[in-house]
Amino acid sequence: MDPHKAFADTVPTPEEARQEKMDTLIGYILQIGVLLSLVLIAAGLFWTWLRKGRLELDYRITGMNLFEFVANELRLAVDGAVQPRLLVNLGIITLMLTPFVRVAASVVYFLAVLKNWKYTLFTTIVLAVLTYSLFLS
Amino acid sequence: MISFPILFLVSVVAGFVGAMSGMGGGIVLIPTLTFLGVDIKHAIAVSILSVIATSSGSASAYTRDHITNLKVGMFLEMFTIVGALAGASITIVSSTKPLYIAFGAVLLGSWAALLFAGEETYHAGEQDAFTRWLELEGSYPDYALGRVVHYKARRAYFGAPAMFGAGMIAGLLGIGAGAVKVLIHDLIMGLPPKVSTTTSNLIIGVTALAGTSVYLVAGMINPGLAAPVILGVVLGAFIGTRLLVRLTNLAVRRFFLIVLLVLAVEMIIRGIRGA
């Protein structure tokens, strides 16, 4: 909802207008990420049900970091091994990447649009720590 | 293996109660999963993964309504994610008994917070130089008041380390710990209640991601659990927020107080006896 439409007496400064565009951008990143992940997981489950007549998944994800996990799944996909588990795993991956992409987009926005060095630095620190944690082994 | 319908149903209820009470899904989900025979560490791992979905889902709506304060969120995130990494790492190496007891203690804390919860009050205060330097202020459209509310945060130097602690609880126990974050925003940093709850939602998403990454590496993300839990909790939370029964109803509040107390005592007993 646009607050300036709701309350006509407030006129946004250019700075505020750019900030509000950022709110909208981040809102959509989060929404699309979560929805896509839910659709992938639901589709994987539905496919499992079509194949096996049940909804329980009996495979495991061995301990690995997110990037190994992504590489692993992409390799399977390229090999043509598109199975229900691939969809469920891609759903989990999408879910985990959603906040990550949100932070990455914030870095770019603070840097390129708002030109706010303080917050470019803060969001870069967040992105660095997250990247480190996703590369843990 | 627990059947899909049972896991799904339990998760819907957990998501629903979590959204309705504002406590988040994990508080009910984790004890229930352990009662069903799931190892507590696996329950924690799947819960924190599902927290990414529920918090990002609601955060998306709040940011687009321009209520969330992105700068407050992004400043405090630096501290919660490090806390979550530390907390999750402790859980991985911890034995299960202390986890039950810690979870029971957090449930008791939530119970007490709910019992003594008063009217939401907001007092504007003087902003300090550090918080001003951080640009932690903003405005949001208050549709109930029919005007745009301007506010300035304060005491970021206390808020930041406190948020490290909140992140640690989140990573350690697999919950969003939104109640703790909201308390910090309200009491320490003097944010208006609407801004503090919505901004906490944004922070919870990345914090949960940091925690999840540790559990993923440890091989504790079980897709057989994750799939029904994620779908169920999100559906439950969706219904819960749409109904908007925000514990104003006395009967709902009493019911939730009893549920929290029973779960807390049960978890502590299991922690002492050994699960």
Whether the predicted pLDDT of A89 surpasses 60? yes
Whether the predicted pLDDT of B79 surpasses 90? yes
d(CA A29, CA B67): 17
Contacts of B206 in chain A (CB under 8 A): 99-100, 102-103, 126, 130
Q: What is the mean pLDDT of residues B39-43?
A: 94
pTM of the model: 0.91
d(CA B41, CA B141): 41
- What pLDDT, on the 0 to 100 scale, is given for residue A32? 95
Disruptive mutation site among A34, A70, A103, A127 for chain B (greatest number of B CBs within 10 Å)? A34
- What pLDDT, on the 0 to 100 scale, is given for residue B246? 55
- What pLDDT, on the 0 to 100 scale, is given for residue B240? 81
Whether the predicted pLDDT of A1 surpasses 80? no
Answer whether A96 sits within 8 Å of B57, measured CB to CB. no
Residue A48: partners with Cβ closer than 8 Å, 6 or more residues away = A54, A55, A56, A57, A84, A85, A88
- What pLDDT, on the 0 to 100 scale, is given for residue A46? 93
- What pLDDT, on the 0 to 100 scale, is given for residue B49? 95
Is the backbone of residue A116 left (phi > 0), alpha (psi -120 to 50) or beta?
beta
Q: Model confidence over B107-143: pLDDT tens digits?
A: 998 888 778 766 556 666 788 889 989 899 888 888 7
Nearest CB partner across the interface for B68, out of A23, A89, A133: A23
- How is residue A112 annotated by DSSP? I
φ, ψ dihedrals at B154, nearest 5°: -145, 170
- Would you list the domain boundaries of chain B? 4-273
Q: With an 8 Å Cβ cutoff, is A92 touching chain B?
A: yes
Q: What is the dihedral of CA A70, A76, A77, A83, to 10 degrees?
A: -110
Q: Model confidence over B158-202: pLDDT tens digits?
A: 999 999 999 999 999 999 888 788 878 888 888 888 888 889 889
In this structure, which amino acid lies at residue B28? V
Whether the predicted pLDDT of B30 surpasses 90? yes
- Tokens at B268, concatenated: 């502590």
Please tell me whether the interface predicted TM-score (ipTM) of this complex is above 0.85. Answer: yes
Q: Model confidence over B224-244: pLDDT tens digits?
A: 999 999 999 999 988 887 775
d(CA A16, CA B87): 37
* B188-207 per-residue burial string, b: 16 or more CB within 10 A, e: under 16: bbbbbebbbbbbbbbbbbbb
Whether the predicted pLDDT of B97 surpasses 60? yes
Between residues A77 and A71, the one the model is more confident about: A71
Residue with tokens 């007993």: B269
Confidence of residue A128 (pLDDT cuts 50, 70, 90): very high
Q: What is the mean pLDDT of residues A73-83?
A: 80
- Tokens at A92, concatenated: 């989990």
Nearest of B208, B216, B183, B158 to residue B42 by alpha carbon: B216
In this structure, which amino acid lies at residue A8? A
